[in-house]
Amino acid sequence: MWQPQSEVDETPQNGQNGAEGGPPRIFRWLPRIRKKPAPALERAYDRFLETIKDTLSDFTTMEINSVLVSNISADHPLIDVEFLRQTGEDLLAWFQEHSMDEQFQQSLKADSLAQLEHLCQSITFPLEPPEKDCVAALLKESTACLNNKNANSDPRHEPEASQRAEYRRFLRYLQKFLATCESDKWDDEGMLRGREQQQLRKLWELVGTTFVYAQTVVGLDGDAISRLNQQLFHATQGLSRESIEALIRFHNHNTEASAQGRNSLMSILVDTLRAVLRR
């Protein structure tokens, strides 16, 4: 429960008026609350507004990914820095198990993998200079791998084409992981704020996957793009025709559920606006 403080904390806070160092405007009209409210309340208020803001800006595009995995862990990290560590460890394990023929795709070097291992084991926030150097070096290496396009080496036959696509997908995941490490939205409790937290959770889910078998992206204007991974139909996956059909139907249901959820939130916003303007 909030209690008024006897002394005003003039340290600039990263709140609604972060740069001004004062209490949020919403509290100022209350006569007793000319002093700064408790930090926990201010943090909760900031997180609430930030989530609303990010949700509204994410409304324009909706992405549904259905993935197949070899195992789903029942253990859940409780803090975001633990999510980040597990994501890094999964990425490291994947890159150590998969390496590409240099003819088709440049792979990460052993030094880079060692740096990634060191980063996962010793990452703390704010980042120390050695970790910052690790992140910068890994970013440079992964960008070089993605940009290395040898016109004569583009594989046109399976399975090299799928393997190359998968490797490049994980290189992009690595870049997102490194961008999250560098984010300035980490707080002292090991939690992220804003859109980065949602991106981290998505990354944590996607990194441990066998492959993404279906993806649908729907824009607010109604444009929809659906992709089906052809690996789903390969005999190597060991799935029967009925299972494949069930998976595709399942993805369609998920798309509908997600669209309904977004539409419900949109209609609530519209109803609220209508109630204010017309009444």
Contact set with another protein (CB under 8 A)? 31, 44, 47-48, 51-52, 54-55, 57-59, 61-74, 76-80, 83, 192, 197-198, 201-202, 205-206, 208-210, 218, 237-239, 242-243, 246-247, 249-251, 253-254, 257-262, 264-265, 268, 271-272, 275-279
**Cα 129 to Cα 115: distance, rounded to the nearest angstrom:** 13
- Calculated CA dihedral for residues 56, 60, 66, 71, nearest 10 degrees: -30
Closest approach of another protein to the CB of residue 80, in Å? 7
Element (H, E) at 225: strand 224-228
Closest approach of another protein to the CB of residue 143, in Å? 25
Closest approach of another protein to the CB of residue 109, in Å? 30
**Cα 3 to Cα 45: distance, rounded to the nearest angstrom:** 16
Strand ranges (E), 110-149: none
Report residue 166 as tokens. Answer: 């998968």
Closer Cβ to another protein, 98 or 202, answer by number: 202
Q: Which residues contact 203 (CB under 8 A, 6 or more apart)?
A: 87, 173, 176, 177, 180
Closest approach of another protein to the CB of residue 233, in Å? 14
Closer Cβ to another protein, 223 or 242, answer by number: 242
Closest approach of another protein to the CB of residue 147, in Å? 27
Phi-psi region of 162 (alpha: psi -120 to 50; beta: other; left: phi over 0): alpha
